[in-house]
Chain A
């Protein structure tokens, strides 16, 4: 690892400062109403801080960070409901390109991704939206892709567009030019307002193989850890927002946080929030250390963090009462993100099953 604890603290502080200044709720609301569908100014700020190169190898011009650094920054990103293609471009697209085997591809694509000049997107799943290898319906043959992918984060905004596609080796990763012939990109109307998605149809689109199945699997693990960190951070923030309200909203002559029903809901949520933080951080360090139980931990974090964020955001609305039913209150923004995050990369049921399978391997 090439980032020291002090450097990490400094990086994190600069990211938090950026988010405090330019990633406020007002910025989020402006971003979701913008034609780009994300916060282009904030994304440039991320690039200026060098954060788009966080996990790219030092040799390729990145900061050389790993799962642990990524997870921590994603907690901050989640707390602020980051409206920028960090997960899509930095983690998944950047991870795949850096993990690819061709030095020329890396030299061509990575500098633009690392600087934040380009937005990267990766088509990972088919129209069923299961995020399993079987669900990838795009096929590669003779350098061309055919099939349909959907739920592609930042698919319509992408400058660097990659797609998972089956070839002789299994699910591999291909690059297509953003305006290539045979490519139809349809922006999707999404419930979550903070992360744009698109459906992408490939009809014999010329493509270049970037990375194989192993790099894809590795990068997806990193993506799951990043998402888990985002969920942990977002769950904690909406929980804190709720606690503030419990302390200040007065009914029946006292703060509503004095009512036992509220206190008990809050205590139960605290367990969820702490569970999420522990799961995300332990998964990150297990992967960073190449621990034998890394798969157990990644799968655990995938559903524990998803469930924790979903439950916290959903309960937060109830705990606020009518105010949270208004568009102007932030609770629904978290609820929407929670519901999207809980499906992204596969639903909790899938990961519970995989977690058990990983444990079975240990408990034979």
Chain B
């Protein structure tokens, strides 16, 4: 298919179904219906095969579709790059599971969460102690997860659990897509520093995962987890952590407009800070654009793995500049001080990007090892049977 024909087709589709001015589906169609149409047209995951909602398009043509959607702020396209759940299940799920959930994932009718972190296993995810045991009725899960964003609304979870305790830590893990709405799952909200309660503790006591919901091989979970983590870091590198959790809405703010309305756009010191903050953001965009261009030509791009670390500097930096623009007003908070409240929220929420999905320090380790080829961190329990490690013995 020629690029021009594809672009024409996407534009015609958007003209028919999307109101570019009001940035919503045309009259008569809701968001759900629109997402179904996007899926049927093959725009949701264009690089996937036709068997699974795709059109077999090469990466560069898939990006053309995304660009057309982005130009009118329409949603639903480009999920072959951004939907970590759908991509992970496509890559490692059984056909039965794909038939059950892919469509719902791609139309946003299924919400999912990530059951990775535990009280004793954060950065060191391979140390999880939640166990899954195979029974005639499926896998039975026992353990505790923590910091689980969106667990209350999720119908499913990507679950990392231990299935063999007698081998070294990375080798005894399995990865599952677990139904959340069942008796063995107890979700308790945690109060966050932002005042929100998006993340939760999740207690798993006899929860069951059907055999068909094992992703990849038994004890091969570490590898599948890497796929899922890569997608998560990718979207965080593009600023997913800047949106309010659960919302697809980009709420970035113009520092220029903020300074202008505060009457401080002429302050030379502030100008330097604003310019630098805007530059970091633009440079990250340029890097990602270059990475995508390289990937569209078929070469893997190491630049892609820099985005999350870069974004964490951007988000912390933006909030700091906003505080400088607001001056003493940054001491205030609450509904009666909306600008300060917004800035304060951003200053705290920036940690979501610098801690969640692998801390900045872990990202630096990963970049140094996988991109730059420097030696691995020393991991004293790497080769011990997990049962004998400090994660178990204390």
A interface residue numbers (CB < 8 A to B): 243, 246-247, 254-255, 257-258, 260, 262-264, 266-268, 270-271, 274-275, 277-279, 281-282, 300, 303-304, 349, 352-353, 355-356, 359-360, 363
Contact = CB atoms under 8 A, between A and B. Distances in A.
B275 A282 contact: no
Interface residues of B, number: 38
Nearest to A254: B375
A267 B363 contact: yes
A270 B271 CA distance: 26
Nearest to B366: A267
A356 B278 contact: yes
B309 A247 contact: no
Contacts of B378: 258
Interface string B301-319: 0010010011000000000
A264 B361 contact: yes
Given A247-B374, A271-B309, A263 B283 contact: no
A300 B287 contact: no
Nearest to B361: A264
A352 B368 contact: no
A323 B372 CA distance: 22
Contacts of B371: 267, 270
A263 B279 CA distance: 25
B272 A352 contact: yes
Nearest to B283: A275
Nearest to B301: A274
B23 interface: no
B286 interface: yes
A260 B362 CA distance: 10
B286 A279 contact: yes
A264 B368 contact: yes
Prevailing SS type, chain B contact patch: helix
Contacts of B41: none
Interface string B266-290: 0010011011101100111011011
B372 A355 contact: no
Nearest to B371: A270
A358 to B, nearest CB: 10
Given A266-B374, A267-B372, A277-B290, A300 B268 contact: no
A274 B303 contact: yes
Given A258-B375, A359-B275, 10 more contacts: A263-B364, A267-B363, A271-B310, A275-B284, A275-B287, A278-B289, A278-B290, A281-B290, A282-B290, A355-B275
Interface string B54-96: 0000000000000000000000000000000000000000000
Contacts of A267: 309, 363-365, 367-368, 371-372
A356 B368 contact: no
B364 A356 contact: no
A270 B321 CA distance: 24
A243 B365 contact: no
A50 B381 CA distance: 60
A246 B374 contact: yes
A247 B373 contact: yes
A274 B306 CA distance: 9
Nearest to B265: A360
Contact of B279 (A262, A271, A349, A352): A352
The listed residue with most A CB atoms (<10 A of its CB), out of B254, B282, B376, is: B282
Contacts of B363: 267
Dominant SS among interface residues on chain A: helix
Contacts of B257: 363
B369 interface: yes
B256 interface: yes
A117 B260 CA distance: 53
Contacts of A274: 287, 290, 303, 306
A269 to B, nearest CB: 9
Nearest to B306: A271
A275 B283 CA distance: 6
B375 to A, nearest CB: 4
Contacts of A303: 279
B275 A352 contact: yes
B256 A257 contact: no
B215 to A, nearest CB: 30
Contacts of B373: 243, 247
A219 to B, nearest CB: 24
Contacts of B274: 356
A300 B257 CA distance: 19
A270 B375 CA distance: 16
B377 interface: yes
A359 B278 contact: yes
Contact of B276 (A258, A281, A352): A352
Contacts of B286: 275, 278-279, 282
Contacts of A260: 365, 377
A275 B376 CA distance: 25
A255 B378 CA distance: 12
A247 B365 CA distance: 15
7 contacts: A267-B309, A270-B306, A274-B290, A304-B279, A352-B272, A352-B279, A356-B278
A246 B374 CA distance: 8
Contacts of A270: 306, 367, 371-372
A257 B275 contact: no
Contacts of A262: 374
Interface in B354-394: 361, 363-365, 367-369, 371-378
Q: Among the interface residues A246, A262, A271, A300, which one has the most CB atoms of the partner chain B within 10 A? A: A271
A355 B273 CA distance: 12
Contacts of B256: 356, 359-360, 363
Of A254, A255, A263, A281, the most chain B CB neighbours within 10 A belong to A263
A352 B268 CA distance: 10
Contact of A363 (B254, B272, B276): B254
A232 to B, nearest CB: 12
Contacts of B278: 355-356, 359
